[in-house]
Amino acid sequence: MKNIILTADRPTGNLHIGHFVGSLRERVRMQNETEYDDLFVMIADAQALTDNADNPQKIRDNVMEVMLDYLAVGLDPQKTTFCLQSEITALPEITLYYMNLVSLPRLLRNPTVKTEIGMRGFDKNTGVPVGFACYPISQAADITAFKANLIPVGEDQEPMLEQTREIVRAFNRIYKTDILVECKAMLGRNKESMRLPGTDGNAKMSKSIGNCIYLCDEPDVIKKKVNSIATAPRKLEEPGDVENSVLFTYLRAFCEDKHFEMFYPEYANLKELEAAYAKGGLGDGKVKKFLFDVLNDVLTPIRERRKEMSKHIPEILEILKKGTQKANQVADNTLHEIKRAMGIDYYSDNSFAEEQIKKYSNK
Ligand code: ATP
Ligand code: MG
């Protein structure tokens, strides 16, 4: 079986450190260290419009921002195909056929969609846009159009992948085919990375909430955001709670032993720091200082590469255009196979015409 990797990001803002540990770091690792036949990274602008229909300019403005973030973290145009969702014409058509395979109650049971509906604050009078409620189906179209089987994503995407697998199984069963491929999530390195909380303590760092440390943030901004993270009030000598601390959650997602050598030689590794904090006597100020140093160490090369890349906009535009052309071909081929399996490829050859002529000539 082929290994085809695909992921997408909504161009609703700059990418943040949650994206980095939840998905981007895994994509770069897979790009550089694994064997695969194709790796697609899609800018999901059509999906972003499902809850931003009144603000297409925001989506347009963020396409290049997201491209710069991709290149800054080390996604390499030689190894990765970048593409723009709304320009891939087969996707909405595939979505349309999949819509018949999913029931409305099943769609609305999706826990991530439920949480997001709560967060988005859609207009009380008009309610949830149909396009938003259906985005898991269009995501199934994205994944299956490329026959992707490996999807590096955060934990919030698991229900989308489950929905995709259900559609794949239903399609293959009903239309007696095996053209569609089941996918699986490639989750981040630990539970903290799979769903990084926001700087406000919210369960998920998310562009739409604005509780983010962005990959392009300057050091003074990172410092301010780290210092603003709320910590549980306690006396210095009292034991600290490492499990529920956002500071330690970030450290578990980001820090490596080398960071202790570089910035905090009193401790050899995170286990030792956690033990000291849990015992009592170690203040949050010191942990914040260390966390800033760690984040800044990880983000500085990304920020610098991003600045360098922003001098090459014409080349980046060309990379995205070329990638989208390639993606269009792949998705068109799959659409063709889908229509053939469903028996609605009327004009791809003469079989429909011949069948009808034969049928009526016998009457
Ligand atoms: P929006 O608020 O517009 O939905 P977002 O911050 O949730 O934006 P997406 O573009 O929806 O970002 O997600 C892109 C990818 O990043 C997905 O694979 C998602 O699982 C992952 N991701 C997003 N936020 C986090 C997070 N806080 N922790 C881990 N992974 C995340
Ligand atoms: Mg999201």
**What's the CATH number where 249 sits?**
1.10.240.10
Same domain, 120 and 147: yes
**206 is a domain residue:** no
Cβ of residue 80 lying under 6 Å from some atom of ligand 1: no
Q: What is the pLDDT of residue 170?
A: 98
Same domain, 346 and 253: no
Same domain, 300 and 347: no
Q: Do residues 274 and 264 touch, judged by C-beta distance below 8 A?
A: no
Same domain, 139 and 39: yes
Please state the separation of Cα 245 from the chain's center in Å.
Answer: 25
CA-to-CA distance for 150 and 143, rounded, in angstroms? 9
Cβ of residue 199 lying under 6 Å from some atom of ligand 1: no
Q: Do residues 346 and 101 touch, judged by C-beta distance below 8 A?
A: no
Distance 66 CA to ligand 2 centre (A): 14
Same domain, 131 and 250: no
Can you list the pairs that 263-270 forms with residues at least 24 positions away whose Cβ atoms lie under 8 Å? 263/290, 263/293, 263/294, 263/297, 264/290, 264/293
CA-to-CA distance for 242 and 286, rounded, in angstroms? 14
Helix (H, G, I), strand (E, B) or coil at 39: strand
Q: What is the pLDDT of residue 121?
A: 83
Mutate to test the pocket of ligand 1, among 115, 190, 199, 206 (most ligand atoms within 8 A of CB): 206
Same domain, 33 and 158: yes
Same domain, 344 and 290: no
In the DSSP assignment, the letter for residue 155 is G
Same domain, 16 and 43: yes
Q: What is the pLDDT of residue 318?
A: 98
Mutate to test the pocket of ligand 1, among 17, 23, 199 (most ligand atoms within 8 A of CB): 23
Q: What is the pLDDT of residue 29?
A: 95
Written as six digits, the tokens of 15 are: 């990418």
Nearest CA to 21 among 309, 306, 294, 308? 294
Same domain, 77 and 180: yes
Number of helices (H) and strands (E) in the chain: give both, helices first: 18, 5
Distance 184 CA to ligand 2 centre (A): 18
Same domain, 117 and 163: yes
Written as six digits, the tokens of 292 are: 């800033």
Cβ of residue 12 lying under 6 Å from some atom of ligand 1: yes
Nearest CA to 90 among 331, 278, 351, 339? 331
**283 is a domain residue:** yes
**What CATH number is given to the structural domain containing 36?**
3.40.50.620
Q: What is the pLDDT of residue 120?
A: 85
- Sign of the Cα torsion 146, 150, 153, 159 reads positive
CA-to-CA distance for 302 and 254, rounded, in angstroms? 14
Ligand 1, atom 18: nearest CA belongs to which residue?
153
Same domain, 123 and 260: no
Q: Residue 45 corresponds to which amino acid? A: D
Domain containing 48 equals: 4-196+313-354
**205 is a domain residue:** no
Our CA angle for 353, 359, 363, nearest 5°, is 140
Count of domains for the chain: 2
The mean pLDDT values, 10 residues at a time, for the chain of 363 residues are 95 96 95 96 98 96 98 98 98 98 96 91 88 97 98 95 98 98 94 94 88 97 97 91 96 97 97 96 96 98 98 98 98 98 96 96 79
Cβ of residue 115 lying under 6 Å from some atom of ligand 1: no
